[in-house]
Structure 1
């Protein structure tokens, strides 16, 4: 005969439940039979008392086991003070210990929970927190979490690495963001020491100077040269000043006082003198290894297009400069628009090669007209530096007003290429 495990009560306030998980959760929610209390959050100004059970905590965490059952067990007569943890994070820790789940994990309490999980040796919860933030990270919020990611780098290095990778490939958008000026000095150093940043050094230099001015304002001190250098600390020496042109050097850090006169003179001598001084700044170019790129090109007046090719401004992807090339092929029986992705290669190397997947797209001006798209997948190198179609679209179809490819106001034509490139080979 089966026994009904829920038919009776173990007391006025303790219902008997069938599942062990429900029973343990009831202990957490009700505080029944608790034998330890924690006073959490004094440093945050929000002290909350939590009741718990030493045997459950000790069974789940080696740190709690040593705390309660080690050679010098904690005195549990009074609440144990945990001043440096936010109550929300500690509530998540207890929820995980008792139920294997966290009820309220979000971006506001995630790093507090992750740090607490690392502190109390709960590796699976560290993984849970890490997976959560990795799924949420984007270029829009990576600067918001960068400071916390730096401080949690030992427990969860993949979070910091993804933040930095997003910054690596953000082109120059990150350097003009207001959020950039709000990051801490350690986070700034973590960015500047990267070899893989995509921005030019003059843009980086301007952004770092703005960061220093903002930091002086936060400290309520004047943004003098000496104060800016002081708040930057070692971050100053992670800027690659020798990569600046002479004009950029003189008009930028030398003029603003970010560089000392002696430092500026040493950099100038390094660039031009036969006997080069030893510098405190890195002289190696950054790699600019952004994998994806979008090239937009508007031909101002398609009626002026001749057989000679036109070229867009270049876009830097994987250390290589890529552009759109377009021409009008009139030697064919049916004149057509030629549309190509082109790469001029890597200076100083005759053996470079780069595998690329790209989508070539003619963007119509009429909303109801679908774009004309063609896919390209090719290994680019010195001997095969462009790929596309000499018959991308016939000129007759392109110029048909009913199709809506050409802007009727100024006869302009919009072209776009979206590309993803593998790491190139053959660089010297």
Structure 2
């Protein structure tokens, strides 16, 4: 019986090839491991029926045969794959010969160790403490701070440089995993995901700060500032913390239609935080939750009708704060007069208002690129901003590379220039100016100097030849120099009091 069964199996009769041995040869060649296993099973079953043998040892032999069959099938499938990447993907997908067991995935220690010093240290620690035998399919290692899907993307990269599953939706979770296990190549790929493809740029910024990825954090901030109107209206904005809110409201680079939009965004954020904390949306609670972010809003730039119609009734500001804003609207150049309430809020325009004259006020701005090269140029080298017309006069920022005579230190000269045509006769223009080196670091105030001056044909430029030294300006701890972009931003808040022009008398008069 067993012999007949074996013969049928070997010649392929049971698979529809009849008794034709030639026709069965391809099957016998391709499926010989399976045929041998089936032959053994048929033989042992026949022995059990005819001789009453127990099947327990037979089943053990059968299990070993099946295991051998699986291994042969695995290596046959592996050999058919065209390249190393495909073979590594197959190895990861089947988890064959795995000896590193995680909660939902299995892997191979040698491969993990080759890619990560963290994995090497982890396995070495387990080995030294007698733990390897504890890690098994029945007792896997838990990784609670990494998402399973992100862990799988990381393993795909380790095994085969496969990034097919990396996208904007999972990039930040994968970044966490890659940073945890020191897979720098994958960290770099995560950071190359276009920020606009990320579902939550605020969360991405939080990740960047947590992992000390300052370049990426700066990119996130730049994107938020450039798209502030849209992003401040999103649900994700309502989930950010008070520190980030304060940082965003304080940035000159926010591109918005008007400052009133900042106030409305602040109110939405405060009301959401009241809801999350199950407290009343009262003026006191709103003010407390906004904290220092409230004093980053430039209330003096908000139109009087909006300030009176919306902000005053909210009662978020104190009476003294209301009064100080009203006084600024009436007397913008009398901020230091005794008896007036001090204005506690910034009053200079944001970048969306820069270089645009509004009435008798304007904020001029100039970005000095390749600042490190500018610092090394010869004395007297100058840079000028584009001219902005106000009150019929062209105004510019003038930056100059100077040297302090006594110390020979290289200094930045910083001036306001009114470059009216010289043949315009006797003209004069009284103004107040605040010259600022704009801070590019959170928590650092702008470096400011103020003056009042009457510009005329004899005195068309005014400022400081040694505003600050290049050494201090380029010190990263001071926050005025962006080393990565090699730039410094200069700004001048200008208010023109009055303009007087006296036509030249004719020569014959």
TM range (shorter): 0.5 to 0.7
Deviation at 1:427, TM superposition (A): 4.4
In the alignment, which residue of structure 1 is the partner of 2:220? 163
Q: Deviations over 1:298-353 (max 9, x none)?
A: xxxxxxxxxxxxxxx9xx99759xxxxxxxxxxxxxxxxxxxxx952599984348
In structure 2, relative to structure 1, the CA distance for the partners of 1:24 and 1:219 (3 Å cut) is same
1:208 aligns with 2:266: yes
In the alignment, which residue of structure 1 is the partner of 2:167? 106
Where do residues 151-300 of structure 1 align in structure 2 (5 Å cutoff)?
Answer: 151-153=207-209, 154-170=211-227, 172=229, 174-175=231-232, 177-179=233-235, 181-185=237-241, 186-199=243-256, 200-241=258-299, 251-261=309-319, 263-264=321-322, 271=335, 273-274=337-338, 283=346, 285-288=348-351
> Which of 205, 211, 230 pairs up with 1:149?
205
Deviation at 1:97, TM superposition (A): 1.0
1:68 aligns with 2:113: no
Contact 1:353 1:424 in 2 (8 A): no
Identify which of structures 1 and 2 has the higher relative contact order when contacts are C-alpha pairs closer than 8 Å and 6+ apart.
1
In structure 2, relative to structure 1, the CA distance for the partners of 1:206 and 1:145 (3 Å cut) is same
**Alignment coverage as a number of residue pairs:** 306
How far apart in 2 are the matches of 1:151 and 1:101?
23
In the alignment, which residue of structure 1 is the partner of 2:100? 36
How far apart in 2 are the matches of 1:100 and 1:292?
49
How far apart in 1 are the matches of 2:391 and 2:397?
7
> Which of 67, 84, 90 pairs up with 2:151?
90
Q: Deviations over 1:63-87 (max 9, x none)?
A: 1111112466865252111122222
How far apart in 1 are the matches of 2:339 and 2:135?
70
Cα root mean square deviation, aligned: 4.7
Q: What TM-score does the superposition give when structure 2 sets the normalisation length?
A: 0.49
How far apart in 2 are the matches of 1:267 and 1:291?
21
Deviation at 1:27, TM superposition (A): 2.0
In structure 2, relative to structure 1, the CA distance for the partners of 1:261 and 1:130 (3 Å cut) is same
How far apart in 2 are the matches of 1:353 and 1:346?
19
Contact 1:290 1:318 in 2 (8 A): no
Could you say which structure has the higher helix fraction? 2
1:24 aligns with 2:107: no
Q: Deviations over 1:97-132 (max 9, x none)?
A: 111122211222111111111111111111111112
In structure 2, relative to structure 1, the CA distance for the partners of 1:192 and 1:347 (3 Å cut) is farther
Q: What TM-score does the superposition give when structure 1 sets the normalisation length?
A: 0.57
In structure 2, relative to structure 1, the CA distance for the partners of 1:346 and 1:119 (3 Å cut) is farther
In structure 2, relative to structure 1, the CA distance for the partners of 1:98 and 1:245 (3 Å cut) is same
Deviation at 1:190, TM superposition (A): 3.8
Which 5+ residue runs of structure 2 have no aligned equivalent?
Answer: 1-29, 34-68, 329-334, 367-386, 400-417, 422-486, 494-509
Larger radius of gyration: 2
In structure 2, relative to structure 1, the CA distance for the partners of 1:282 and 1:231 (3 Å cut) is same
In structure 2, relative to structure 1, the CA distance for the partners of 1:127 and 1:424 (3 Å cut) is closer
Which 5+ residue runs of structure 1 have no aligned equivalent?
Answer: 1-6, 40-48, 294-312, 321-341, 355-380, 385-421
In the alignment, which residue of structure 1 is the partner of 2:176? 115
How far apart in 1 are the matches of 2:348 and 2:363?
15
Contact 1:192 1:235 in 2 (8 A): yes
Q: Deviations over 1:333-380 (max 9, x none)?
A: xxxxxxxxx9525999843489xxxxxxxxxxxxxxxxxxxxxxxxxx
How far apart in 1 are the matches of 2:294 and 2:94?
55
How far apart in 2 are the matches of 1:57 and 1:348?
68
